[in-house]
Structure 1
Amino acid sequence: MNAGTLLNWVDASYVFLAAILVISMQMGFALLEAGSTRMKNAGHIAGKQIISFAIAGLFFWFAGFAVTFGEGNGFIGWSGWMLQTGAKGEDKVFASLSWADIPLALKFLFQMAFAAVSLAIAWGGFAERAKFSVYLVFGILFTTIIYPVIGHWVWGGGWLSEMGMQDFAGSTVVHLQGALAALVATLLLGPRIGKYTKDGKPNLLPGHNQVYSVLGVIILWIGWFGFNAGSTMSVKDGFFGYIALTTNLATAAGAIAAMLIARAVLGKADITSMLNGVLAALVAITAACAFVEPWAAVIIGAIASVLTFFTSLYFERKGVDDPVFAFSVHGVAGIWGTLSTGFFASPRLVEYTGIGQAGLFYGGSFHQFYVQIIGVLGAAVYVALISFIILYALKATIGLRVTPEEEIVGLDLSEHGAYGYPEHLESAEKPAYIAEINPKTLSRTLDMRLQQRAE
């Protein structure tokens, strides 16, 4: 085995490991979202991650990968459906990924994992009141006509790529897209029952298991090393180690900044704020991890954390019931992370990556910042518009939201016929929300279970 063959084998193994780390983030989202929502919805919230990942795996293979990376024009790819390259060959059909010298199957697996993460983020805005059928329809369309289009613009040789937009691992492509879809869903669905008083003041609807949420964030933190460092798709020169360094520095700074700001504003070191700070910093550094110096990574992570803290409070007070703060964590931080390279992109790292230009603090030019703004605005308009059209059409046809009775009893029972915590349902102390239900409006399965409980 010669040196070149050995390097190819190592690169392929590295990308496979990175893909597994990114896929493992689905466990993190399941624990984070289930822990951050109420007990009566825990099984539903966690279980939907299985279908979410299955949808991404199938439909990104069928069409999404081709739209993202296939041969096409500046706006969309239109070749390579179901990974078929034909007589042209892989390097022609998927020229935008030809820089990575690994098998096409591994390129797909790694990129599919990214699409699945973006879809998982979107589900945050649907939590605790959306129909399960809506997840299915929107998930299919998200992974075929929403996520892939922005992916093509930035990573697939599209018009933003030609402009030199810097988004190394997806602050915009992955996180902002998912966050905007979540925000549109949140607005169209409306607040959860009991979230706001009659005069519009928010009530606290605490998650049922903070330990789950913490474990979920730790899993996401670990998985992010595959997300960011794995995006080199190679071990050559060890640059992946540098990206891991900036990623971890930003995240640590985000955690500390969140703890301090929560202590200053709320009077307590609020755990939810700390978790959001960690995630916000991870989201922000995702775009910048390959372009900024370590000191800048610390600043980017800390600012992202503070922005997320205040915007999450602001949106909640304005009547936006975002159960897991998806837009503040992934949207606001995603915007900041994408724009940050316009300030902090280092000349030596820009030269190494060959993407874009140095930031304002080095070159004195607004060019890169301007490109980043255009990228954020272009992505935001497309994702928000298409998400709105799809979800509004679903609302007008099959409906987005479960009935009030089904929402009160919880989606575990009303959508799946099984409670995530059956011991609680069978306990001597009847759950408070059972008394609020009119059994005649529920499904036969739910009627039967309530009757059994009453007996």
Structure 2
Amino acid sequence: MNYRTRQSTIVGAAAVALLALAGAAFGQDEAAETAEVVAEVSEFAIAADTAYILNTLLFLMGGFLVMWMAAGFTMLEAGMVRSKNVAMQCTKNIGLYSIAGLMFWLIGYNLMYDGVDGGFIGSLGWKVIPDPSDDPGDYSVASDWFFQMVFCATTASIVSGAVAERVKLWSFLIFVAVLTGVIYPITGSWQWGGGWLAEMGFSDFAGSTLVHSVGGWAALAGVLIIGSRRGKYGANGAIHPIPGSSMPLATLGTFILWLGWFGFNGGSQLAMGTIEDASAVSRIFVNTNTAAAAGVIAAMILTQLLYKKVDVTLALNGALGGLVAITAEPLMPTMLWATIIGAIGGILVVIAVPLLDRMKIDDVVGAIPVHLVAGIWGTIAVPITNPDTSFGTQAIGIVAIGAFAFIASLVVWVILRALFGVRVSEEDEINGLDKAEIGVEAYPDFAQNQAT
């Protein structure tokens, strides 16, 4: 019998005993009054149980939807890279999710949430999940840990696509271990762990900056250290597009991410035990969907105007840009404001992708425009609809988190380059990382050894 069941049983037994004693000692009138009091106590206990169950259910459902985003990232990346590198992306993504799950248990969760108390970092030590018979609170401890862990894994997924097609597998996975065990938990502690940014009033509801921009900064640091893909940039500023292997896979991945985002943003309400909470989760769903849709349409219109054709890859990233942008504050905006915020997110992605190319920053899937640029926009836009925040405080949070995440990631990438190397050889890059790093080709029936 678990804690909550035992609690209800005790309350019920006490109520029956109290009613019996009251009837014997005071007569029927007094017993009736006592029965009313007992009924109120019982209703309170039942309400507490119901809230506990619903809050826990929100964490679990939101958590497995965010976990499903790992499949979305995998499919998106598999479609955006060349066929000779698809198995590598699949391996990286299942590896990074598994590493995040272990690192967030061993060190990440407590570093992020335990004993921060307005400071800069939590405590060392692994997270202990209590026995179900001793699990008090407003929700299950295990459900909370699971929900927070999948957010941590999402941060690492962002890096995977940006550095695709030329990074060494084990160097990448070592970086993931540091990112998910140390870098992400420290920045997360500043706000969600009750750290110094939370004390200042910084607000990031579901992680436009704390998850997406942190992943974007880590990706930018990796791209700068690893360098661009062979043949991507030529002399005199020439840019040579490298098409992906499968737009259907990339589109499928985007829809999976879109679905998972309802757990990402909706679950961040952190409660569903009251009518108001349930209504808030519903409103978050609506705003999340609206922002994504606006990001798609804005990106399609802009690419038509700029290039005389609709670019499907930018339309897909427009959806993701809209989703990232609304993530910092998905509850407060009206649907009109959600549309505007999402549309601007999609527009920023369309602008940032070619801008990075002109700077010779080779981001294979557009992770930096989507997660970093749109994440900054979404975070700075919070005070537009949330009067309890300020543009100055939001800017301080963006700069502080960005500086730490970028510098820390840069240091880790530099150390990895010195110790193990971070980039595969030119020959391996030409032949494809499926053969060189994995030993299993995603599409063995097709020739994959073309030099590009």
Deviation at 1:344, TM superposition (A): 2.8
Partner residue, 1:196: 233
Is the contact made by 1:232 and 1:240 (CA closer than 8 Å) also made in structure 2?
A: yes
Deviation at 1:31, TM superposition (A): 0.3
Mapped partners of 1:126, 1:196: distance in 2: 16
Match of 1:54 among 90, 93, 98: 98
Match of 1:299 among 327, 334, 340: 340
Does 2:398 match 1:376?
yes
User: CA 1:83 to 1:291, structure 2 compared with 1: closer, same or farther past 3 Å?
Assistant: farther
Does 2:437 match 1:415?
yes
- The residue matched to 1:199 in structure 2 has which SS? helix
* Deviation readout 1:116-147 (Å, 9 max, x if unpaired): 00110012222100000112210110011100
Equivalent runs, 1:264-283 vs 2, <5 Å: 264-283=305-324
TM-score by length of 2: 0.86
Is the contact made by 2:92 and 2:173 (CA closer than 8 Å) also made in structure 1?
A: no
Is the contact made by 2:166 and 2:229 (CA closer than 8 Å) also made in structure 1?
A: yes
Mapped partners of 2:356, 2:142: distance in 1: 41
Mapped partners of 1:125, 1:397: distance in 2: 22
Partner residue, 1:439: none
Partner residue, 1:331: 372
* Deviation readout 1:398-454 (Å, 9 max, x if unpaired): 1110000001100000001111111114xxxx7433xx9xxxxxxxxxxxxxxxxxx
* Deviation readout 1:167-186 (Å, 9 max, x if unpaired): 00000010000001101111
Partner residue, 2:53: 9
Mapped partners of 1:164, 1:245: distance in 2: 26
Question: Which segments of structure 1 move beyond 3 Å, counting only runs of 4 or more?
Answer: none
Is the contact made by 2:93 and 2:160 (CA closer than 8 Å) also made in structure 1?
A: no
What code does the residue aligned with 1:214 have?
T
Partner residue, 2:424: 402
Match of 1:206 among 240, 243, 247: 243
Mapped partners of 1:80, 1:31: distance in 2: 34
Match of 1:82 among 80, 102, 127: 127
Is the contact made by 1:72 and 1:79 (CA closer than 8 Å) also made in structure 2?
A: no
Does 2:450 match 1:432?
yes
- The residue matched to 2:127 in structure 1 has which SS? helix
Deviation at 1:84, TM superposition (A): 6.6
What code does the residue aligned with 2:297 have?
I
Match of 1:111 among 148, 161, 168: 148
- The residue matched to 1:423 in structure 2 has which SS? coil
Mapped partners of 1:216, 1:81: distance in 2: 33
Match of 1:33 among 67, 74, 77: 77
What code does the residue aligned with 1:175 have?
H
Equivalent runs, 1:133-144 vs 2, <5 Å: 133-144=170-181
Match of 2:185 among 134, 140, 148: 148
Deviation at 1:79, TM superposition (A): 5.2
Partner residue, 2:298: 257
* Deviation readout 1:258-296 (Å, 9 max, x if unpaired): 110010001011101100100000001000112322211
Mapped partners of 1:370, 1:203: distance in 2: 40
Deviation at 1:342, TM superposition (A): 2.3
Mapped partners of 1:390, 1:325: distance in 2: 22
Aligned-residue RMSD, C-alpha = 1.8
User: CA 1:158 to 1:85, structure 2 compared with 1: closer, same or farther past 3 Å?
Assistant: farther
Is the contact made by 2:60 and 2:143 (CA closer than 8 Å) also made in structure 1?
A: yes
Aligned residues with identical type, % of pairs: 39
Partner residue, 1:225: 262
Mapped partners of 1:112, 1:373: distance in 2: 26
Which deviates the most, 293-302 or 205-214?
Answer: 293-302
Deviation at 1:339, TM superposition (A): 0.2
Match of 1:127 among 164, 167, 171: 164
Deviation at 1:13, TM superposition (A): 1.8
What code does the residue aligned with 1:33 have?
E
Deviation at 1:376, TM superposition (A): 0.1
Does 2:205 match 1:165?
no
Is the contact made by 1:70 and 1:80 (CA closer than 8 Å) also made in structure 2?
A: no
Is the contact made by 1:249 and 1:298 (CA closer than 8 Å) also made in structure 2?
A: yes
Deviation at 1:85, TM superposition (A): 8.3
Does 2:287 match 1:246?
yes
Which deviates the most, 240-249 or 9-18?
Answer: 9-18
TM-score by length of 1: 0.85
Mapped partners of 2:63, 2:156: distance in 1: 16
Is the contact made by 1:71 and 1:79 (CA closer than 8 Å) also made in structure 2?
A: no
* Deviation readout 1:9-34 (Å, 9 max, x if unpaired): 12212221111100000000000011
